[in-house]
């Protein structure tokens, strides 16, 4: 399974958000590097907590910017959190799929950041 590599061209133009995105890449890689179930559980919990924190910070930023696509972006966050909850439930019931998590992280970390989050940065730059 390939690792996630942060690149500067993933930046959206907000230092807080960009730093959090980069940290999410590191946390995702920690999950895939976990050597046993106990380590995996710890890494998943850390990742899920940080995702929630990141979403709250990003939502606060969108609100401060009067971002016009706020409701849609919030819906995307809710969908990602629902998928993470299902993965967490699967882990707790020994039905965990590392492949499903990798697919979700790939879709979110790359597609969501490069498309949806980048539009927040573009909106912020227009408002300056």
* Residue pLDDT, tens place only, 69-117: 999 999 999 998 998 888 888 878 887 777 888 888 888 877 888 889 9
Whole-number pLDDT of residue 17: 95
Would the pLDDT of 8 be above 70? yes
Alpha carbons 114 and 111: distance in angstroms, whole number: 5
Would the pLDDT of 24 be above 70? yes
**What is each CA distance from 98 to 29, 74, 80, 111, in whole angstroms?**
12, 26, 16, 19
Whole-number pLDDT of residue 108: 80
Alpha carbons 65 and 33: distance in angstroms, whole number: 37
What are the structural domains of the chain? Answer: 25-127 (1.20.120.50)
Instruction: Give pLDDT tens digits for 32-59.
Output: 898 888 898 899 999 999 999 999 999 9
Q: Closest Cα to residue 73, out of 113, 109, 17, 128?
A: 113
Whole-number pLDDT of residue 84: 86
Whole-number pLDDT of residue 57: 97
Are 34 and 46 a contacting pair, CB within 8 Å? no
27-56 residues labelled b (16+ CB within 10 A) or e (exposed): bbebbbeeeeeeebeebbeebbebbeebbe
**Mean pLDDT, range 58-66, rounded to an integer:** 96
**Mean pLDDT, range 8-21, rounded to an integer:** 94
Would the pLDDT of 1 be above 70? no
Which residue did the predictor score with more confidence, 20 or 36?
20
């Amino acid at each position: 399974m390939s690792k996630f590599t942060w690149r500067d061209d993933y930046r959206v133009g907000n230092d807080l958000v960009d730093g959090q995105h980069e940290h999410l890449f590191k946390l995702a890689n920690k999950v895939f590097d976990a050597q046993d179930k106990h380590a995996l559980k710890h890494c998943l919990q850390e990742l899920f907590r940080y995702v929630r924190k990141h979403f709250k910070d990003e939502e606060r930023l969108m609100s401060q910017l009067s971002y016009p696509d706020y409701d849609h972006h919030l819906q995307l966050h809710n969908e990602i959190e629902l998928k993470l909850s299902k993965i967490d439930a699967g882990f707790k019931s020994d039905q965990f799929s590392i492949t499903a998590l990798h697919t979700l992280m790939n879709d979110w970390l790359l597609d969501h950041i490069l498309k949806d989050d980048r539009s927040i940065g573009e909106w912020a730059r227009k408002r300056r």
